[in-house]
Amino acid sequence: MALTREQKKLFFERGWFSLPNLFTIDEIEVAKKSFQSLVEKANKLQTTQNFEDSYFVLDKDQNNQVIIKRVVWAGGTEPALLELGRDNRITSVVSELLDSKEIVHLLNQAHFKRPFDGVIFDWHQDIQHRDKGPGTWTDVDGKGSYIQTALVLDEMTTDNGPLLFIPGSSQWGVVDFGKHDYDNPNYDKKLPPQFDKTQVQTITATPGSVLFFGPYTAHASFENNSESWRRILINGYAYPGANHRTYPGSGKGISLFP
């Protein structure tokens, strides 16, 4: 899949672009069945733990109901999700953006937001989770050496916890968003001086669409205040030689050749 000049400009200058309806409704239904299976497994596990080469990050609400914050390397226990993360419709785009025939698959995560579950991901750059200090990450290509994708399973609306982006943040480089503690959304932090909340763009998208963004793009998603679910499958890919950490999950760090 060859990208247009405009799509590349959006990615490198604005920070993201989307490919609507990249996957069919039938394919999305298969993914939803895998997500439902993850829910059933989480309800049996009850607490955060490793299970079948996946890592379930779980919490409980005030009614003692399990809240799934995310499932790391979800394809370890639900192989259909790993297949989606390695589908050429995604990996060929990543390969072109990284300008590399080889890409390294680092992330395969299932993210859930059920109605009113209170799950948030506060403002951050993904480089914060890739570069953990000396020796853990090398920006090989000088452009961040990493691409993140989000496959939309449910209609992403303005009120069900959509992704939020700051245009142009892809050119900030690394900035300090403060220490993250997803269990305490009211922690004291200082937003970087470049941050301007009036510039925030809310992303809406249809099921089957895929968002592509880089490691410096500032983004967040807040509470799902609707009656509908908002589920996305996140996959992350690195330029060869960039990552020096061990990631959880079977098959992490495998090289792909789209």
Give per-residue pLDDT as tens, 106-128.
999 999 999 998 888 888 999 99
Q: Report the top-level CATH class of 5-256.
A: mainly beta
| Pairwise CA distance, residues 100 & 106, whole Å | 16
Of 211, 206, 257, nearest to 233 (Cα)?
A: 211
The model's pLDDT over 142-192, given as tens digits with 9 standing for 90+, comes to: 999 999 999 999 999 999 999 999 999 999 999 988 765 545 555 445 678
Structure tokens at 254: 């495998």
Compute the residue count for the chain.
258
Q: Residue 185: what pLDDT?
A: 54
Map tokens 């992704």 to a residue.
163
The pTM for the full model equals: 0.93
User: C-alpha angle with apex 255: 76 to 151, nearest 5 degrees?
Assistant: 55
Whether 242 shows a pLDDT value over 90: the answer reads yes
Per-residue pLDDT, 190 = 66
What pLDDT is stored for residue 183 in this prediction? 53
Using an 8 Å Cβ cutoff, are 208 and 26 in contact?
no
Token pair 């470049």 is at which residue? Answer: 194
Question: Considering only CA atoms, which of 42, 14, 10, 32 is closest in space to residue 155?
Answer: 32
2-26 pLDDT tens trace: 899 999 999 999 999 999 999 999 9
Q: What is the DSSP letter of 10?
A: I
Measured in degrees and rounded to the nearest 5, phi and psi for residue 239 equal: -70, 140
Q: Which residues pair with 57 in a beta bridge?
A: 70
Alpha-carbon span 14 to 219, nearest angstrom: 12
Tokens read off for 257: 């050749």
